[in-house]
Amino acid sequence: MKIIMLGAPGAGKGTQAKRIAETYGIPHISTGDIFRANIKAGTELGQKAKAYMDAGQLVPDELTVGLLMDRVAKEDCVNGYVLDGFPRTIHQAECLDEALEGHVDCAMNVDVPDGVIVERMGGRRACLTCGATYHLAYIPPKVAGKCDVCGADLVLRDDDKPETVLKRLSVYHEQTQPLIEYYEKQGVLKTVDGTRPMNEVFEEIKTLLG
């Protein structure tokens, strides 16, 4: 089963992608992980991607799809995979369809309104010392403002500040949201209400996947 995760930044699609992968015994694949693995291994595609990244440029879609197809050709993907963070644009989706010589089996859209996302991400707190993460509403630290693990101060990361989140949402609506209609036309789109508790969302995903 070839699954793509869709949803705005902060919608929780990464968490659900990991749970799908664990439950169905298929790999959870993110393009960031693929880039890092290929660069570390010094592959030809990895070296090409690194040249763009070192120059502060975006890796071209065709090269990204090439790296992705190399990954999904591996033995652990024989029963399928979950793609997280790709495609982000219509052009990337078209490149992927061309490479797959068809389309994915399911595009799972985790739907969460912008206001809820801003509230969710604004409640996140991180420990820069040990990397532990918290949420003021959902996973609060035992002592306010302090990390449970190492006792260091917790901070609101720049990425989670409302102004940054709104910018990321604006990019999402402009570039990535059109994928919802793209996959709806292919007949593979399934949408879940991502505002509910994580376990409820996952139960609905399992029902939709059958």
Whether 196 is catalytic = no
Q: Which of 2, 19, 71, 124 is catalytic?
A: 124
145 φ, ψ (degrees, to nearest 5)? 80, 0
Q: Do the Cβ atoms of 82 and 21 come closer than 8 Å? A: yes
Whether 88 is catalytic = yes
145 vs 143: CA distance, rounded Å: 6
Q: Do the Cβ atoms of 67 and 31 come closer than 8 Å? A: yes
Q: Which of 13, 19, 71, 125 is catalytic?
A: 13
Whether 190 is catalytic = no
Q: Which of 48, 50, 146, 168 is catalytic?
A: 168
Whether 71 is catalytic = no
Q: Which of 48, 50, 146, 157 is catalytic?
A: 157
Q: Which of 48, 50, 88, 161 is catalytic?
A: 88
Nearest alpha carbon to residue 165 among 126, 114, 131: 114
Q: Do the Cβ atoms of 20 and 28 come closer than 8 Å? A: yes
Whether 157 is catalytic = yes
Give the active site residues: 13, 88, 124, 157, 168
